[in-house]
Every structure is written in structure tokens, then in C-alpha cells.
């Protein structure tokens, strides 16, 4: 096992059999437990699932942004800056990683406040990211481009805003400034981790619209992390559903909504009867997310699964590809798709 079959024609990122642990006083948290996926260049790929299922840790692992007590235990991570050119993230030095992180692969986090330093102007901070990545030689040179970047994110009066301090901006404007900063070094991949959760609902929609528009105009690839199924439906080309550190199902968005196969995905969608209505939290699913220090053996979902069978308590389900683009990790589908040796990853 391991390795995994990945099916991207032109991947920008590939993750194979990733394991991440956190070594806490209470015990070893097995947070990511054999995750594989690829992101197609130019698409919006979504990681969705309840709180604690491993979305953020997975996305941070892409550039090895895992701090102690966390550790990438195992796995392969590849970044393809252009078709056919493969960079082995696991083998890069910290220095080489820093060159990619915040430049070619940029992150946008939930809380724009914490991404900005209250002591410096927006223009200074955007210039600083450019300076760090050798786009400019002096901070001063960055301001013209900073104004351009603020324009791109539709911040009104950018010539004035470039000289503003974070506290002078509203939450929505701060997030636009953070997005401007993430664009400073011409990223190829933007990882947006719950980018609108901290904002008002109307502002949320505007920021999402902005991301969609920027992605189209700048030819970016977007990895979007959310627990909002409505956002998934609106924004994503493909979606991976995570549960307790595992991808339980992956499919093109429409197919996932029309033909959900994993019992967990089915419950998730039942909890959100109308995905176009924005529902913030997935809370109507019975049971709780398992303790990842002592995760359930076999299928990690089995204690909550309405279809639980004996084998589910014993063995981890293989990943079964039900068609070219749709996979599910569930024993229910094994009979319909025999030849598991070929299908197991
Ligand atoms: N620093 C840490 N120490 C211990 N455990 C951690 C740490 N960071 C993350 N974890 C564990 O890793 C698991 C995955 O966390 P992660 O933040 O990726 O979840 P998530 O899906 O992003 O959740 P949310 O929707 O709340 O952001 C969780 O069980 C969490 O407890
Ligand atoms: Ni998270």
C-alpha cells in the first residue's frame, strides 16, 4: 500500500500517503492518517469536513508548515511550478521552502487581523513580502506595486490605503489587504483556509466573489478550506471530504452533491438540505468526532456509521475508484468494485 493512484492530468500539487502526528502530553494525536490527493492546475479544489478533521493541517503540510509538537511522519509531497517540472517538498531545505512559501504558494488565513502587523502600514507590509522574496531591493520600491495590488482586490482609494495601518481598515478591507499581500509575489497556488469565517455574511460573499474573480484573471489555482457546503457548491471544481484525518470521498463537486457515496458525506449533505443556503456549522450529525489519540480501529467512521459491518471495526477500508474521478473509502463499495488489490492505495 502507499503511494496511491492519483488522477490529475496536470497537477500543481500531489500528496501521497501523508501522515501527520502531534506529540502532546496526553498522547500522540494521529491527525492526518494516510491522505492522498492531487490538485489540477487552474482548478478550485476544496477540503471540507467538520472541525478537527485535518483540513488545516493537510494544507499546511503542503509547504511543511507544521510546527512542533507536530511532525510529518510519512508521505510524499510534490509541487509542480510548471507542467512536468517536479519539486520534492519533503527534500527541500528550510531556506528553499521559505522561497516557495508566501511566494509561489501563498496562504490566506481566517483571521486577517493576525496576518497583519499593527505597527506597519499596509504598503510597508506588502513591500516587505516582496523584499523577502527578492522582488524588490528596497521597501520604497514596493509602494507603487502595492497600490496596484490593492487595486486588484478592489480596495477603494488605494493610494490612500497603502499608507493606512491595519486598525484603520474594516475586517473586510483587512482581508482584501491580506489577499493583496498574498498576490505580491505572483503565486501559482493560493491556499485559503476559511478565509471568510471571521467576517460578516455580506462581506463573506464579496470576498468569495473577489477570490473567484482573481483566480480567473490571474490564472491561479485555489485550494479552499471550508466547512460550508454552500461555498463548496458555489466555488469548487472538485471536493475532498475529510473525516478524522482521512479523505473519505473525493469527486467533482456536482457529482458529490448528486451522488454522494460515503455514509459520512450523505449525512453531511442531509445536514445541509439546500447547499445554496449558507449554513455555517455542520452540527446535526449524530455522534462526535473521534479522539485522535485513540482513534477507532478499522474505519475511523464506524462508530457513527449507520451501515457499520464487522469488517469496518477491523480493517481500514481501501480507496475505491467508482469512476475516473470519484473515489470513496468505504467497505460498502468493495463488492461492486472487485479487484481491490488494484484499487487499494
Ligand atoms: N498544535 C497541535 N497540537 C495538538 N494537536 C493538534 C495541533 N494542531 C492540530 N492538532 C490536531 O490535529 C487535528 C486536525 O486539526 P486541523 O486544525 O487540521 O482541523 P481542521 O479540519 O482545520 O478544523 P477547523 O475546521 O476547526 O479549522 C485536530 O484533531 C487537532 O486536535
Ligand atoms: Ni482549520
List, chain by chain if needed, residues with CB within 6 Å of any ligand 1 atom.
22, 24, 29, 31, 49, 51-57, 69-70, 227, 292
> What whole-number distance in Å separates Cα of residue 249 and Cα of residue 146?
40
Phi and psi torsions of 256, nearest 5°: -65, -40
User: What is the Å distance from ligand 1's center to 110 Cα?
Assistant: 14
Q: Is residue 201 part of a domain?
A: no
Q: Is residue 147 part of a domain?
A: no
**What number does the ligand 1 atom closest to the CA of 47 have?**
21
pLDDT digits 0-9 by tens, 137-188: 999 999 999 999 999 999 999 999 999 999 999 999 999 999 999 999 999 9
Q: Is residue 160 part of a domain?
A: no
Q: Is residue 126 part of a domain?
A: no
**What number does the ligand 1 atom closest to the CA of 244 have?**
29
pLDDT band, residue 290 (cuts 50/70/90): confident
Q: Is residue 226 part of a domain?
A: no
**What number does the ligand 1 atom closest to the CA of 57 have?**
18
Residue 25 lies in domain: 11-91+239-343
What percentage of the chain reaches a pLDDT higher than 70? 91
CA distances from 161 to 111, 112, 113, 254, 302 (A): 19, 16, 16, 40, 52
Residue 278 has pLDDT above 60, yes or no: no
pLDDT digits 0-9 by tens, 9-46: 999 999 999 999 999 999 999 999 999 999 999 999 99
pLDDT digits 0-9 by tens, 306-341: 999 999 999 999 999 999 999 999 999 997 765 554
pLDDT band, residue 2 (cuts 50/70/90): very low
Buried b (16+ CB within 10 A) or exposed e, 60-82: bbbbebbeeebebeebbbbbbee
Q: Which of 197, 12, 204 is nearest to 105 (CA)?
A: 12
DSSP 10: S
Domain containing residue 306: CATH number: 3.40.50.300
- Residue 290: Cβ within 10 Å count: 18
Identify the residue with better confidence: 145 or 274.
145
User: What is the Å distance from ligand 1's center to 117 Cα?
Assistant: 25
The question of ipTM being above 0.95 is answered as yes
Q: Is residue 220 part of a domain?
A: no
Burial bucket for residue 131 (CB in 10 Å: 0-12, 13-18, 19+): middle
* Sheet with 27-40, side-by-side order of all strands: 27-40, 11-24, 70-82, 85-88
pTM: 0.93
> What whole-number distance in Å separates Cα of residue 91 and Cα of residue 97?
9
CB atoms within 5 A of ion ligand 2 belong to 55-56
- Give the number of domains in the chain: 1
> Helix or strand or coil: residue 309?
coil
pLDDT digits 0-9 by tens, 114-141: 999 999 999 999 999 999 999 999 999 9
Q: Is residue 82 part of a domain?
A: yes
Q: List Cβ neighbours of 217 (8 Å cut-off, separation of 6 or more).
A: none
Instruction: Report the mean per-residue pLDDT for the chain.
Output: 91
Q: Is residue 277 part of a domain?
A: yes
Give the count of alpha carbons within 13 A of 266, CB side only: 12
Q: Which of 280, 275, 284, 200 is nearest to 230 (CA)?
A: 275
Amino acid at each position: 500500500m502507499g503511494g496511491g493512484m492519483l488522477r490529475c492530468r496536470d497537477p500543481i500539487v500531489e500528496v501521497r500517503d501523508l501522515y501527520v502526528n502531534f506529540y502532546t502530553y496526553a498522547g500522540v494525536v494521529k491527525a492526518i492518517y494516510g491522505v492522498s490527493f492531487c490538485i489540477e492546475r487552474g482548478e478550485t479544489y476544496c477540503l471540507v469536513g467538520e472541525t478537527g478533521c485535518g483540513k488545516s493541517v493537510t494544507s499546511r503540510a503542503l509547504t511543511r508548515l507544521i510546527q512542533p509538537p507536530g511532525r510529518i511522519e510519512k508521505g510524499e509531497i510534490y509541487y509542480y511550478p510548471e507542467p512536468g517540472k517536479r519539486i520534492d517538498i519533503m527534500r527541500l531545505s528550510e531556506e528553499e521552502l521559505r522561497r516557495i512559501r508566501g511566494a509561489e504558494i501563498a496562504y490566506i488565513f481566517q483571521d486577517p487581523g493576525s496576518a497583519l502587523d499593527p505597527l506597519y502600514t499596509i504598503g510597508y507590509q506588502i513591500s516587505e513580502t516582496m523584499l523577502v522574496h527578492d522582488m524588490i531591493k528596497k521597501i520604497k520600491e514596493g509602494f507603487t506595486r502595492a497600490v496596484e495590488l490593492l487595486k486588484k482586490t478592489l480596495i477603494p482609494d488605494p493610494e490612500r490605503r497603502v499608507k493606512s495601518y491595519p486598525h484603520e481598515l474594516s475586517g473586510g478591507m483587512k482581508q482584501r489587504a491580506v489577499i493583496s499581500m498574498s498576490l505580491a509575489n505572483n503565486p501559482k497556488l493560493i491556499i485559503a483556509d476559511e478565509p471568510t469565517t471571521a467576517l460578516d455574511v455580506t462581506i463573506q460573499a464579496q470576498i468569495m466573489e473577489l477570490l473567484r474573480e482573481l483566480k480567473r484573471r490571474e490564472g491561479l489555482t485555489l485550494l479552499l478550506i471550508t466547512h460550508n457546503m454552500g461555498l463548496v457548491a458555489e466555488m469548487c471544481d472538485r471536493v475532498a471530504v475529510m473525516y478524522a484525518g482521512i479523505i473519505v470521498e473525493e469527486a467533482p463537486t456536482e457529482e458529490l452533491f448528486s451522488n454522494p457515496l460515503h455514509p459520512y458525506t450523505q449525512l453531511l449533505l442531509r445536514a445541509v438540505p439546500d447547499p445554496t443556503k449558507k449554513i455555517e456549522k455542520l452540527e446535526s450529525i449524530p455522534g462526535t468526532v473521534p479522539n485522535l489519540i485513540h482513534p477507532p480501529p478499522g474505519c475511523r467512521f464506524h462508530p457513527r456509521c449507520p451501515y457499520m459491518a464487522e469488517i469496518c471495526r477491523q480493517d481500514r477500508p481501501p480507496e475505491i475508484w467508482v469512476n475516473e474521478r470519484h473515489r470513496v473509502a468505504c467497505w460498502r463499495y468493495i463488492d461492486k468494485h472487485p479487484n481491490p488489490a488494484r484499487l487499494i492505495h
